[in-house]
A and B are shown apart, each in its own frame.
Chain A
Amino acid sequence: MKKLLLFIIATVSFISAQNNMRRMSADLNCSTCHSCENPTKSNPCLKECLRHEIITVHNSPSDGPENIILNFIKTKNDLFKPVNFSHKVHSEMAEMSGGCTTCHHYNPPGDILSCRECHENDRARKDISKPDLKGAYHQQCLNCHRELELNTECESCHAYNSQVSLKSKADAQKTFKPTGSHKTVTRPAVLTYKSSYQKGSVVTFHHKDHIDLFGLNCTQCHTSQNCGDCHTAKSLKEAKPVAVNKNSDHALCKDCHDVKGNSCNKCHAENVKPGFEHKRSTGFDVSRFHGDLRCTQCHTKGFKGLDPNCFSCHQGWTPETFRHGKTGLILDEIHVELDCENCHKELNFRIKPDCSDCHDDKSFPEFLPGKKGTIK
């Protein structure tokens, strides 16, 4: 019996050790944390904190705790009650920028460490290379709170302890309550930039087209955006325009546009350039029937132009399946029965239909083979 028990314990501990090992990512080795070759318990020779090469693994906000009561610092006469930190809400906000790393900086791969595992609780300490726990909390929180709220009063996060006699301070715990979803952002249509390029100092950026026509997502250009980038401390409701990081030339454009060679004048001009118009550029008007399409639906990889014949794409069309009313003309009972080719000669839908097969005295559009409808 004892042997069996021992065997079970050994197996369980082996499996858990294996799991622990698996949690560690492959790029973690002794030298990630230790500066010497043979660290011992008495001399672990740990590298100085703010270990840049060690960053946290990314977890989803739902993996972490919902709320944390920060009651790890206690003194004799605490002016305030412990802070109830809404961890989940904050991690959701961090999703917009740095993720977990925003707060859990320098966290080795594996378990997410809490602040107090690195930051000492004692201010009078030997190692001053990182702030103590109280300092760490405040520095971390205030970095964003100062940026977003001009009001950095203690009561924004803390409730006063009732034992402390106060003049007119409300003894109410304030917790952050998110108010639903973010307000829809007003998107600019056209933006113009000045550049130092002499042959064309104006760069017109058709912002709306890049989203609606070219199908880019906000985050493809607006990377690592912070709440404070738009919201000033004085007003959370009014936001200033989102700026993109334009530090490096062409960095944002070069993923899609050729920024080398002789293609400068595609974006750079002396005056504001008009936006992209399919009809002007290619001769094919997409606005009437193909307006809902995204460029990439036709322009797949290796696209070399389309056959102007409708049937090259719309293969299943027959007089029975084609709803002619969509073109703005609802055919009457007689004409709806006809083959396409009876009116549209050689199935060329670009030229006007020919009535001469049946009618000598009628022509399009003076006489309509049905009634007008609305183009859908």
Chain B
Amino acid sequence: MSTISRRSFIKTGIAAGSVMLASPKDARPAEVKTLPPDRRGVLVDTTVCIGCRRCEWACKNAHSLPAGDITDYDDESVFANKRRPDDKALTIVNRYEKIGDERFPTNVKIQCMHCEQPACLSACIVGAFKKDDTGAVVWDTDKCIGCRYCMVACPFQIPAFEYEKALDPKIMKCDFCIDRQKNGELPACVEICPAEALTFGKRSELITLAHRKIELFPERYYNKVYGEAEVGGTSWLYLASREFMELGFLKLGTNPAPGVSESIQHGIFAYFVPPIAFYALLGGVMWLNKNRNRGEE
């Protein structure tokens, strides 16, 4: 099966081990990929979103998922529960009523945030993920081994897994409609949104636009652009009328998420401690057994 000879495997192992021992400080987050300045993003203005859920329908159609009739999405009873994107719906809209003011419920669309420094990418042990030049965080299904580390690593808990499929289950998440983008089309959700609550454009321009909106209408917007700095920045950005934590957004620091996952992973293996300890333990057991066997003799 393997073409690696015993000799070369040992050689590589020793070489890798000595590198690890020699430079433990390099076992920090991997180098950040320089992102193109014109990478895209989407600004979600939750004060504009009416919760029509057309984006959910368009998304399913664009990703060949069963979508049903568009008028099915007029059903507002789904807002009774807070939903999460899953393998059957890569984006969903949740509604947050404001207590004491039923006039303006806030509708929040959730999908992959397409982090600038994605934790899923960093956690993927087979290197299936990549941050595309468009800004999209995409993955190669053929490389994926289904370890689901990406699901654990994601600070927004976005990647989903087709648990119900017995054969060939896949990781599912928003891919920023990368195929449509490559064809010069807009992401399906952006295209269908009637109120243009989703503005597609260069991330840098979107940040300027978002801050300008806040400046022009300070009574309409809470003074923060979610995603501008969260976990090192995300391609999808949000504006809201109130504190983001009230709208189901997570309070995340500004440190890139891979910093956490990688330092855990690399920390464990720093100085080659676990393998050495493990082998030392095994050696100890062997030695004890050997002694006991000798005693019995």
- A residues with CB within 8 A of B: 50, 52, 79, 123-124, 128-129, 131-132, 134-136, 138-139, 142, 146-147, 150, 152-154, 166-167, 169, 228, 232-234
Contacts and interface: CB of A to CB of B under 8 A. Distances in A.
Contacts of B186: 123-124
A153 B74 contact: yes
Given A139-B48, A142-B195, A124 B69 contact: no
10 contacts: A123-B200, A124-B184, A128-B200, A128-B206, A135-B48, A135-B195, A135-B196, A138-B195, A139-B195, A169-B71
Interface of B: 48, 50, 52, 69-71, 74, 102-104, 184-186, 190-191, 193-197, 199-201, 205-206, 209, 212, 216
Contacts of A234: 102
A50 B104 contact: no
Contacts of B205: 128
Given A169-B71, A233-B103, A132 B196 contact: yes
A154 B52 contact: yes
Given A124-B200, A146-B104, A50 B216 contact: yes
A233 B74 CA distance: 18
Given A131-B199, A146-B104, A232-B103, 16 more contacts: A123-B186, A123-B190, A124-B184, A124-B186, A124-B200, A128-B199, A128-B200, A128-B201, A128-B205, A129-B212, A138-B194, A138-B196, A142-B50, A142-B195, A146-B103, A232-B102
Contacts of A233: 102-103
A146 B191 contact: no
A153 B71 CA distance: 11
Contacts of A79: 70
A254 to B, nearest CB: 24
Nearest to A140: B195
A134 B194 contact: yes
Contacts of A129: 209, 212
A152 B209 CA distance: 27
Contacts of B103: 146-147, 228, 232-233
A147 B196 CA distance: 18
Nearest to A75: B191
Contacts of B184: 124
Nearest to A132: B196
A297 to B, nearest CB: 42
B50 A152 contact: yes
B62 to A, nearest CB: 15
Nearest to A153: B74
B196 A139 contact: yes
Contacts of B48: 135, 139, 142
Task: Report the 8 A-B pairs with minimum CB-CB distance, sorted nearest first.
Answer: A135-B196, A138-B195, A128-B201, A131-B196, A138-B194, A233-B103, A147-B103, A124-B186
A52 B217 CA distance: 12
Given A128-B205, A233-B102, A166 B195 contact: no
A139 B196 CA distance: 8
Contacts of B194: 134-135, 138, 154
B32 to A, nearest CB: 27
Contacts of A132: 196
Nearest to B194: A138
Given A128-B206, A167-B71, A150 B102 contact: yes
Contacts of B195: 135, 138-139, 142
A210 B196 CA distance: 46
A166 B216 CA distance: 42
A187 B62 CA distance: 56
